[in-house]
Chains A and B, each alone.
Chain A
Amino acid sequence: MKTILKTFSAVLVTVLLVSCATGPKFSDISPSIRDAMPDKGRIYIYRTAVLGAAVQPEVRLNGETIGKAVPKGCFYVDRDPGDYRITTSTEVDRHLSFILEKGQTRYVRLNISIGFFVGHVYPELVENEVGEKEIQQCNYTGQP
């Protein structure tokens, strides 16, 4: 019985580790990240939750795939001011709609909730001070 438990635990830990984001710690690279162009806004997207690590849907911004919802991962995009919709799809679609203004920075956290067969990943707009803090523990998965 003990052997089974040990094996199961080892497999679980391995799965979690493999599923988590690899890449530089955001806190390490953030000083070198340039500001968005003055006529653009910036959207940071991150996921802190490791729960449901195997569920890593694509993240779409107005229909365009911009990254994946990797546990402990983060990335950002710069876009023109306007209306935006971030969508994640698992067994259902979940979306967040928001306005991006010129020079504005927005933080979108990808949360996970229980689903029927698999977890649901849903985007949530968070206060900048919350996003700035939480993203520090994530690994950067965007373009180098």
Chain B
Amino acid sequence: MSKLTVTPSILCLLFLVGGCAFDVIRLEQIPAKLDSKNSCNISFILVKNVNIQLDGGYSRILKQGTKWNCIGRTVQGDVYKTKDQILTIEASNVFEAYIVVSSKKLIGFYLPVEHTFSVLDNPIDIVIEEFPRVQSINQ
């Protein structure tokens, strides 16, 4: 094979590999059903910031003082959302997310548009102040 045919082939391969590389950060998700009728009727305030390292190098902070209301349950845990900050998780694409908590550990995220659960590889202990959900706290 001559250099004239090898060089374009290599360039073509590099182009294809390079093109694919932009889409490699995929968010692992599994289907999840949110049972909102079986609501946990609990709210909490985060006493400390929670630093989250996501796969793919992205990070997020759940801010101290934010109020989180339980809106339902999945098989994995209780699902909480807040109006005090925006929470998205990011890979090649960006997804609005609610947190999933079990035994006072942040174990992953519920993606309300996709109806999926994305697990955190390393669950994170969260320091919270719990109280029954009241009307004055917006969901």
Contact = CB atoms under 8 A, between A and B. Distances in A.
Interface of A: 83-85, 91-92, 94-99, 115-116, 120, 122-127
B101 to A, nearest CB: 19
B86 A125 contact: yes
B113 A84 contact: yes
Interface in B69-113: 85-86, 88, 92-96, 111-113
Interface of B: 15, 18-19, 21-23, 85-86, 88, 92-96, 111-114
B88 A127 contact: no
Nearest to A86: B94
Contact of B22 (A84, A98, A120, A124): A120
A91 B22 contact: yes
A85 B94 contact: no
Contacts of A84: 113
B112 A96 contact: no
A10 to B, nearest CB: 33
A83 B96 CA distance: 10
Contacts of B95: 96-97
B113 A85 contact: yes
B86 A126 contact: yes
Contact of A116 (B22, B85, B92, B112): B22
B19 A98 contact: no
Nearest to A128: B86
A94 B93 contact: yes
A84 B94 CA distance: 12
